[in-house]
Amino acid sequence: MIIHEAAEMYLETILILAQRLGRVRSVDIANEMCYSKPTVSEQMKKFRENGYIVIDGEGNITLTDTGREIAERTLERHNVITKILIAIGVDEETACQDACRIEHYISQKTFDCMKEYFEKINPA
């Protein structure tokens, strides 16, 4: 399944907000991502139609299994790449910003190799 960077960012944000707030509404996403509420609402409509989220009668947004899988994969990439960049001397803020860009373009094969190598040299 091919999903674009913007969609990954939205799904990752929904996951993070759900972990932080317990429930997620369009306004929370708009505030977190600095987007307008109409822009977020339009994207949520597309996600609902494509089976990435469900929205209950009160406007609460929940990731489906498919949406959660994409969000968790994206968040894992972000966290691992951030740790690797910090380990090689990049300051935390820059590492986080760069990881946010890299996470969307790196192949799964390359990410898996980087993660495996990093875990070997930095056991938890």
H/E run at residue 84: helix 65-87
pTM attached to this predicted model: 0.89
Give the pLDDT of residue 2.
57
Contacts of residue 55, Cβ cutoff 8 Å, sequence gap at least 6:
44, 48, 61, 62
pLDDT digits (tens, 9 = 90+) for 58-94: 999 999 999 999 999 999 999 999 999 999 999 999 9
